[in-house]
Amino acid sequence: MQGLRACQEDEDSLIDNEYIKERKEFFAVLAGIVFIFLAYILIYALNDWSWTNTSASGFCEKVRESWIREPANTISNLAFIFVGLYILWLAQYDSIEEDPSLSNRSWFLIMYAISCTAVGVGSFAMHGFNTDWGGWLDLTGMMMYITIPVFYNFSRFLKWTEKEFCMYYLGTNVILSILDWQFNVGIFVWGFSIGIWLAQETAIKYQKQPIIIFLVPTVIVLALFLSSNPGNTPIDFVKKEYEAIILWALLALFLHKMDEIKFERTHSPYFWGGFGAYLLATLIWEPSSTGGPLCDPDTLFQGHALWHILGAVAMWCFYKYFRTEVDRA
């Protein structure tokens, strides 16, 4: 009887191990997130259950004297973490036999999901704790996400292996993170990377027309700049972003000259859905900041929290968009 019970226990253990193994990416990242949040709590405890050297984020919500200083702006970041974990959960149904891409169980997909969760973990620290290191983690997560499409597209254009992609992507983000800590380059990297991504997407369809490859990102980033910086003009944009504009022009020439792009993606509905969600979030950004017409510090319905949720929707849409890729006939 004891032998039968032991066999049953071994079988149950095997089933549990197989269950975890089939979802190893999900459980590994989940464990990492739990570890980071436990570290947040430990830091708070070691600091005599308080945060020191704090300053409000400037996104309207009334600051509380507690572990989570901006509740709505903080908790809404769980949307980013949910999207990243859900992508990893779905990975168990993806093939591992095909050419590695975001359409199957590969390091491309894993890194995309991790970048989504990094935004949530970093922004949670920024709004939750109002510390300088929390703000740095916030921008580090943002840079990790916005550079993932850039490096993924280059990996598709230049035929990088998964190892090369991870090495270039992670190495660059380590450098960017250090530079942001020292020189506050995060916001520039965000806008510049959006331009690179848009140029790449334009090149997939209009590779033989470098002027279009240059104009599309420039005009769209200009529109985003003006919507999030009321009172500024296109001349202000050129003065502040001339380095990016020059680099986009050089990128357009590079994309035009490189080997023919031999795949295509379907833009409707996911690309436009993601673009629309991000555009709406950008339009909400400034009016919902401190002193803006949508700002009400005492309510839990915060415009910046809605920015987070819309950003998570955009992440999901872009994930689905990348998976529409097919080789040209």
pLDDT (tens digit per residue) in 190-201: 999 999 999 999
> How many other CB atoms are there within 10 angstroms of residue 121's CB atom?
23
Q: What's residue 10's pLDDT?
A: 55
H or E element, residue 264: strand 263-264
Confidence of residue 228 (pLDDT cuts 50, 70, 90): confident
Q: What's residue 124's pLDDT?
A: 98
Percent of the chain, pLDDT > 90? 86
- Each residue's pLDDT tens digit, 139-195: 999 999 999 999 999 999 999 999 999 999 999 999 999 999 999 999 999 999 999
The strand pair at 326-327 and 263-264 is best described as antiparallel
Q: What's residue 15's pLDDT?
A: 54
Rounded to a whole number, what is the distance in angstroms from the first to the last CA of the chain?
Answer: 64
- Each residue's pLDDT tens digit, 281-295: 999 999 999 999 999
CA distances from 147 to 118, 153, 173, 190, 201 (A): 12, 10, 8, 8, 14
Angle between helices 24-46 and 107-129 (to 10 degrees): 20
Q: What's residue 194's pLDDT?
A: 97
CA distances from 84 to 14, 115, 119, 222, 307 (A): 28, 8, 10, 29, 17
- Each residue's pLDDT tens digit, 231-258: 999 999 999 999 999 999 999 999 999 9
Is residue 113 within 8 Å of 87, Cβ to Cβ?
yes
pTM of the model: 0.94
- Each residue's pLDDT tens digit, 267-277: 999 999 999 99
DSSP assignment string, 24-77? HHHHHHHHHHHHHHHHHHHHHHHTTSS--S----SSSPPPPSSSSSSHHHHHTT
287 is written with which tokens? 């009016």
Confidence of residue 52 (pLDDT cuts 50, 70, 90): confident
- Each residue's pLDDT tens digit, 6-40: 555 555 555 578 888 889 999 999 999 999 999 99
For residue 209, report the phi and psi dihedrals to the nearest 5 degrees. -125, 85
33 is written with which tokens? 């997130």
